[in-house]
């Protein structure tokens, strides 16, 4: 156990009050000899003031919570690093709350953070939230009056402080890139639509680019990929009987599954089929054919979330607006100009 004022009292024989006055620099009426004895003992015991007590007086713990679906996922781990970094620069600390993408844990952690006296929450919602449940979570955060910023998965049914990526633009950039290389038969391997608004937005961006190019979206070229490697592979099995020269997979994990399965079918990337992923996870460049993909500004998003949150905490008012970052296209080797057939 760390040393307290009581320990210094026990070892020096002075009262807790006397010691407290000296350590807080208010011992005006106390003799120098006594002061020196107390300060020497405090140093010897490595006494440090108890910040819990300070927090209680100031009603500020200088700690925020980070509720995150899965810290072992590279995307979230990178965001955690940015959030930790931004907090540290401002003298704040981060409590890590890993939910395993489980809605009940979102709630549990919100209560826990409120109980611990966290000053605010950076909140990435669990994937198993429906739109209605997401709205309820926002209502709950509002009802307990704890400052918060929602990141990445932004609920549609409530207006709230949020930082995210414009995934419609991301999907648009991916499809535009393939169109610019001469592709017309472009398949889309979509993510889990039911619950994830970001997956739907990527698909809408793809549709907009196709329509702008005067190409009607062919439903036979749209397959579920579930954002997983297995889902990407399964999508190729469904697509293989169709006529296509390019695939936009709505995240990198499914793009990886797409590439592996194309290889099984002896289709070469990019000679036979161009592939675009989404996220630019760090292994995207390490794949057999380094992946062309859409990069989110993860670090900037994490830092912006902290900025908005600390502003709320310091100014005691809600920020007006959402901050939405535009993603960017990263061209590597998995896309090429369409081959004359």
Which residues are near a copy of itself by CB under 8 A? 1-4, 46, 48-53, 55-56, 59, 61-63, 66, 70-74, 77-78, 80-81, 84-85, 88, 93-98, 111-112, 114-117, 143-146, 256, 282-283, 286-288, 316
**Considering beta carbons, is residue 52 or 194 the nearer one to a copy of itself?**
52
* φ, ψ for residue 279, nearest 5 deg: 125, -30
**Considering beta carbons, is residue 61 or 245 the nearer one to a copy of itself?**
61
Closest separation in Å from C-beta 94 to a copy of itself: 5
Q: Is 254 exposed, middle or buried (0-12, 13-18, 19+ CB in 10 A)?
A: buried
Alpha-carbon distance values, 218 to 38, 70, 172, 244 (Å)? 81, 35, 16, 11
Closest separation in Å from C-beta 258 to a copy of itself: 13
**Considering beta carbons, is residue 29 or 59 the nearer one to a copy of itself?**
59
Closest separation in Å from C-beta 317 to a copy of itself: 11
Closest separation in Å from C-beta 51 to a copy of itself: 4
Alpha-carbon distance values, 61 to 25, 149, 197, 283, 297 (Å)? 23, 18, 34, 38, 29
Q: Are 267 and 273 in contact (CB under 8 A)?
A: yes
Q: How far apart are CA 91 and CA 100, in angstroms?
A: 28
Closest separation in Å from C-beta 226 to a copy of itself: 17
Closest separation in Å from C-beta 301 to a copy of itself: 14
**Considering beta carbons, is residue 53 or 194 the nearer one to a copy of itself?**
53
Q: Are 186 and 162 in contact (CB under 8 A)?
A: no
**Considering beta carbons, is residue 34 or 297 the nearer one to a copy of itself?**
297
**Considering beta carbons, is residue 204 or 307 the nearer one to a copy of itself?**
307
Alpha-carbon distance values, 112 to 9, 115, 117, 121 (Å)? 35, 5, 9, 11
């Amino acid at each position: 156990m760390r040393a307290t004022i009581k320990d210094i009292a026990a070892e020096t024989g002075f009262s807790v009050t006397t010691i407290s006055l000296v350590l807080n620099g208010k011992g005006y009426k106390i003799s120098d000899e006594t002061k020196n004895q107390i300060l020497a003992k405090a140093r010897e015991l490595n006494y440090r003031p108890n910040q819990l007590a300070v927090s209680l007086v100031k009603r500020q713990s200088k700690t925020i919570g980070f509720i995150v679906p899965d810290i072992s996922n590279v995307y979230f781990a990178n965001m955690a690093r940015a959030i930790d970094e931004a907090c540290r620069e401002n003298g704040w600390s981060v409590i890590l709350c890993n939910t395993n993408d489980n809605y009940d844990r979102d709630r549990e952690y919100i209560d826990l953070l409120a109980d611990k006296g966290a000053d605010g929450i950076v909140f990435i919602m669990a994937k198993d939230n429906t739109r209605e449940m997401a709205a309820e979570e926002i209502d709950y955060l509002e009802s307990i009056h704890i400052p918060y910023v929602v990141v990445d998965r932004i609920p549609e049914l409530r207006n709230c402080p949020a930082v995210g990526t414009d995934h419609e633009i991301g999907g648009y950039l991916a499809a535009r890139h393939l169109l610019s290389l001469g592709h017309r038969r472009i398949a889309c391997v979509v993510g889990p639509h039911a619950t994830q608004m970001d997956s739907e937005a990527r698909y809408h961006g793809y549709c907009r680019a196709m329509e702008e190019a005067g190409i009607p979206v062919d439903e036979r070229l749209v397959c579920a990929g579930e954002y997983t490697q297995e889902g990407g592979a399964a999508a190729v099995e469904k697509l293989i009987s169709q006529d296509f020269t390019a695939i936009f997979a709505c995240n990198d994990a499914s793009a990886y599954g797409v590439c592996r399965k194309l290889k099984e079918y002896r289709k070469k990337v990019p000679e036979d089929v161009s592939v675009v992923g989404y996220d630019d996870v760090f292994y995207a460049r390490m794949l057999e054919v380094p992946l062309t993909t859409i990069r989110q500004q993860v670090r900037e998003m994490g830092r912006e979330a902290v900025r908005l949150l600390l502003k709320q905490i310091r100014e005691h008012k809600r920020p007006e607006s959402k901050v939405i970052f535009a993603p960017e296209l990263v061209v590597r080797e998995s896309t090429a100009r369409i081959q004359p057939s």
